[in-house]
Structure 1
Amino acid sequence: MGNMSFRVALDTGSSDFWVVSSACTSSACSSVPRYQLAYQSSTFQSVNGNSSLFNVSFLDSTTASGFIARETMLLNNLTVPQQAFGLVNSSNVTLSDEISGILGLGFPRLSTIANTVVNATPVFASMAQQGTLDYPLFGLSLKRNTTGSLTFGAIDASAVTNRSNIEWIDVVPFAPFNGTNGTTATYLQWAVELAQIYVNGSLVTPVPTYPIAQSNHSLALLDVGTSGIYGPYQDVSRIFSQIAGSRLVSVSDTVGQWAMPCDASETITLNFGGGNFTLQPTDYLLGPTAGDPDYCLAWPAALPPSSDGVDWQLGTPFLETVYSIFSLGIDTKEAPMVGLYALRNSTAPVQSPSVVSAYFSSASATIDTELPNYLLPTPTYTTPPYVFNTSVTAPPGLVVSSGLATSTYSPVLDVASVNATALPTLEPSPTLFTFIITYSGSVSTSVSTASQASITLGEPPGWTSGAGAIRVPLRVVFFSVCALLLGLTRL
């Protein structure tokens, strides 16, 4: 971008692309590569004289702010001309691993930039609306401790060996916000209906926060930018009531955290209306606590009710167990869908306590947590008013006329006859530079798998800003998904 290369964190829970600029001198920015304003890139285009402000905030109360600009963006050999993005000049968002910002992969309606500037469609939607991709989707493989992939326009054939086994789930649209003039539902988030939860085969029926507004369906957001699994207290407390010895051990900033015996062998299964997706203990256990190594913190954690009605956030612990496909849909022809392909055989045996123990022993780390010596009560919260217009219907699978991919695409994911075998696939290049991440407590160690020439992140070739050089292999666009760094390959 602007003859500069950056690593950015992927986020399916937001829609904006932003990077920190050289004008940001806070401690949060100074240690990462920054977009060099002094370089005066020939492809940079100001928006309203840099007076269109960009502001973003996160659940942990951190913020980033700056202005909106346009720049030509290169994703390996894909070009997105004059992409609107945020240049951040003030931030207290913690960035690590030379990550300079965030690439949001959500719907245009969720975009701060698209709602501020005309013709400022987010990156993924822009490629789909321009017809740049073979099909308007992207796929994510987040394998633990090994190479993963991000693909635009096609499915990673090395991860999905049988496309007929992909579970396709309708994305849920949302009605207009209260107080606005909209009369039809549109797509906002990668949210789907969560039908059932099982703990060792025992049903825990999800209880939605807004049963009338949502026709008694719980909603779950598939969010690669979330490092855990979160649900409402009314569901999470009942899940752990099915696991012997588990108890609520912390309520910090309204987040409820449970712990359970590390030698547990229970499975947690999620059902979205079709097939089951099962989490083994090593999928949902965080690790032993320092106060009592026989007890492990566990997902899901609990959150108070959210006014958008999205009760569940399924982050990387869940997404590491599946290959996930996010199909944007096609204007007037096809609704958005999420495809999930289980990476573990459904008949795989339940992990034994010895397997779980060996897994955590190999990590050689504990979580710095002291367990209370008394039982904590499950907190209760006042439900906020629902933010959407309940007089407007918003059925899953709604085909809309705008905001999706260009209608020049021919649909293959029609609800009546999904033809997943017609979706394009790709094989990752054997010379693709990737990172393998090993987990050592809270420390991640990256190991390259291919030798490449190098570049300096955040600086054009042959140009020196005086900042310390951060050199990485050339010819690769890097993305970071929580602790896992992914190489991007051609579609």
Structure 2
Amino acid sequence: MRWLGILGLVALSECIVIIPLMKMSTMQKTLKGKNLMNSFLEEHAYSLSQHSANDQKFSTHPLSNFKNIFYFGNISIGTPPQQFRVLFDTGSSDLWVSSVFCLDPGCGKHRLFNPRGSTTFQMTDRHMYFCNELGQIVGFFGRDIVQIGDLVIMNQTFALTYRQASKILPLLPFEGVLGLGYPSLATTGIIPVFDSLMLQKVISEPVFAFYLNNKKGYGSVVMLGGVDHSYYKGDLNWVPVPKCRYWQITVDRISVNGKVIGCSSRCQATLDTGTAFVHGPIRLITNIQRLIGARPYHGYQYSSISCRGSIGIPRVVFTINGIDYPMRTEDYIVSITSSLCFSAFLGGTEKVSKSETWILGDAFLKQYFLVFDRRNNRIGLAHAV
């Protein structure tokens, strides 16, 4: 998952400071005597069932749209349930929320989980540390009941933050992240939410899907355990995921006006609902910015572009498994104010890999209906209605 520094035009540097992880004596005293679960659920075979509209093991969960940049929904944790807004993120695998033990500005303006307010909370001796574009996030893991719509997970391990060193979090309308990546991307030994849904047989099918509506502030959904076919037209184009870590696929080529400008020998791209923009190698992104008329903005990594666009601005076409998926002008213009807009293309993936790699965020994904199939390790794409 890659996070935006564009809110408030704040540029975050890479995290280089290591924060020591310490046990919290306050939590230990508060929760002393709580019994910890002896072991995690062991992996076992699951049977699949056909999805139907009345299937109780299938949930279509509404998502809110924040400035066409973030898509988030409500979940609840604990007994009685405490509600939180979380980003459903295919680029990470852990679940974390802000807690009452966090005193940083990124926590104070949001809902905070209080473990003492839940009769089913269980503490663990595991600690959590994340460092990314969002900032430095430190916490500890606990277990509790997690509910997503009508789907209920028992003894789900999740992280409670007690340090959020970030200039971005206070500006965001959600309190945490629910990762939907593969287990190999999760903190070692932690079972992700979707794997718990499968292991506990809460869902019928090991698939989830996204419909990200960019036309209104509402109407977007994430589907867990099945697919509602009314959200797309035509057929799903199935693309294999070669390595079970990120939701990564092979792109045939990237072109503008029929001319190949990227992936000339095919390349890898991650489909990431936790990223707003499209990230690629700097040299190729610079070329795309020139072709669409975007210009560097006062030393920031973002490039400004006309909010109205202009006649003749070309589409940027991603060809995947032989099918063209174009980004139109309205897809790659991100409005900050009525007179300030940015291009939805960002450079910088060379730091991650020497090969040509891309991250396709919501600017690309919101045009299409997406199905993530864990059983067959593949992603289905179709044109959204």
TM over 0.5: yes
Structure 1 residue aligned with 2:155: 82
Is it true that 1:167 corresponds to 2:215 in the alignment? Answer: no
1:19 to 76, 97, 114: 97
Change (3 A) 1:74 1:247: closer
| Counterpart residue type for residue 263 of structure 1 | S
TM score, norm. by length of structure 2: 0.72
Do structure 1's residue 52 and structure 2's residue 126 form an aligned pair?
A: yes
2:82 is paired with a residue of what secondary structure?
Answer: coil
How far does the alpha carbon of each residue in 1:250-280 deviate from its partner, in whole angstroms, 9 at most, with x for none? 553xx35364682143111111122111111
Superposition map of 1:370-449 within 5 A: none
Task: State whether residues 257 and 302 of structure 1, in contact with CA within 8 Å, keep that contact through their aligned partners in structure 2.
Answer: no
Q: CA deviation at 1:310?
A: 6.8
Q: CA deviation at 1:26?
A: 1.5
Pairs within 5 Å for 1:64-213? 64-93=137-166, 94-96=169-171, 98-112=173-187, 115=188, 117=189, 120-144=190-214, 145=216, 146-162=218-234, 165-173=235-243, 187-206=244-263
**1:229 aligned to 2:269?**
no
User: Conserved in 2, the CA contact under 8 Å of 1:15 and 1:106?
Assistant: yes
TM-score (norm. length: structure 1): 0.57
Give, in angstroms, the shift of residue 298 of structure 1: 1.6
Mark the CA change 1:289 to 1:198 in structure 2 (over 3 Å): closer, same or farther.
Answer: farther
CA 284–55 in structure 1, closer or farther in 2 if over 3 Å, else same: same
For 1:223 and 1:138, locate their aligned partners in 2 and report how far apart those are by CA, in whole Å: 14
Give, in whole Å, the separation in 2 of the partners of 1:192 and 1:137.
17
Between 1:281-290 and 1:12-21, the stretch displaced more is: 281-290
Between stretches 190-199 and 304-313, larger displacement belongs to: 304-313
- Determine if the alignment matches structure 1 residue 268 to structure 2 residue 316: yes
Contact kept? 2:153, 2:200, Cα under 8 Å: no
Extract unaligned runs of 5+ from structure 2. 1-76
Seen in structure 2, the aligned counterparts of structure 1 residues 171 and 89 have a Cα distance that, compared at 3 Å, is: same
Distance 2:107 2:330 in 1: 34
The partner residue of 2:343 within 271, 290, 298 is 298
Q: 2:10: which partner in 1?
A: none
For residues 238 and 310 of structure 1, the distance between their equivalents in structure 2, rounded to whole angstroms, comes to 15
For 1:171 and 1:81, locate their aligned partners in 2 and report how far apart those are by CA, in whole Å.
29
Specify the code of the residue in structure 2 equivalent to 1:53.
H
Shift of 1:69: 0.9
- 1:284 aligns with 332
Q: Name the CA distance, whole Å, in 1 between partners of 2:242 and 2:305.
A: 32
Match status 1:338 vs 2:379: yes
CA distance in 1, matches of 2:172, 2:337: 26
Closer, same or farther: CA 287–201 of 1 in aligned 2, 3 Å = farther
Q: Report the CA distance between 1:247 and its aligned residue.
A: 4.0
CA distance in 2, matches of 1:248, 1:26: 33
Letter of the structure 2 residue corresponding to residue 157 of structure 1: H
- Closer, same or farther: CA 286–45 of 1 in aligned 2, 3 Å: same
Query: For the structure 1 residues 289 and 203, does the alpha-carbon distance in structure 2 shift closer, same or farther, using more than 3 Å as the test?
Result: farther
**Cα drift, residue 249 of structure 1:** 4.3
Change beyond 3 A, Cα 1:143–1:288? closer
SS class of match (1:150): strand
Letter in 2 for 1:64: I
1:126-179 deviations in Å (ceiling 9; x for gaps): 2123433221111111111141111101112331244xx111111131xxxxxx
Q: Residue 25 of structure 2 aligns with which residue?
A: none
- Alpha-carbon distance change, 341 to 304 in structure 1, aligned in 2, over 3 angstroms: closer
Contact 2:316 2:326 in 1 (8 A): yes
Q: Is residue 324–residue 339 contact of structure 1 (8 Å, CA) maintained in 2?
A: yes
Give the length in aligned residue pairs.
Answer: 300
Alignment deviations for residues 418-447 of structure 1 (CA, whole Å, 9 cap, x no partner): xxxxxxxxxxxxxxxxxxxxxxxxxxxxxx
Q: Is the 8 A contact 1:257 1:298 kept in 2?
A: yes
Q: Give the Cα separation in 1 of the matches to 2:98 and 2:330.
A: 36
Whole-angstrom CA distance in 2 between matches of 1:86 and 1:218? 34
For the aligned residue pairs, the C-alpha RMSD in angstroms reads 2.4
Deviation at 1:12, TM superposition (A): 1.0
More strand, by proportion:
2
Q: CA deviation at 1:195?
A: 1.4
CA contact (8 A) 1:221 1:310 kept: no
Give the deviation of 1:296 after TM superposition.
Answer: 5.0
Match of 2:205, SS?
coil
Instruction: State how far apart, in whole Å, the 2-side matches of 1:297 and 1:96 are.
Output: 19
Mapped to 2, the partners of 1:42 and 1:256 lie a distance apart of 47
Q: 1:219 to 1:95 in 2, by over 3 A?
A: farther
Percent identical pairs in the alignment equals 25
In structure 2, distance between residues paired with 1:9 and 1:95:
15
Q: Which amino acid aligns with 2:254?
A: I
**Structure 1: distance between partners of 2:160 and 2:237:** 38
- The question of whether the paired residues in 2 share the 8 Å contact of 1:262 and 1:288 is answered with no
Deviations 1:326-383 (A, max 9, x none): 1112xxxx3x111111127xxxxxxxxxxxxxxxxxxxxxxxxxxxxxxxxxxxxxxx
Corresponding residue to 1:63 among 131, 136, 147: 136
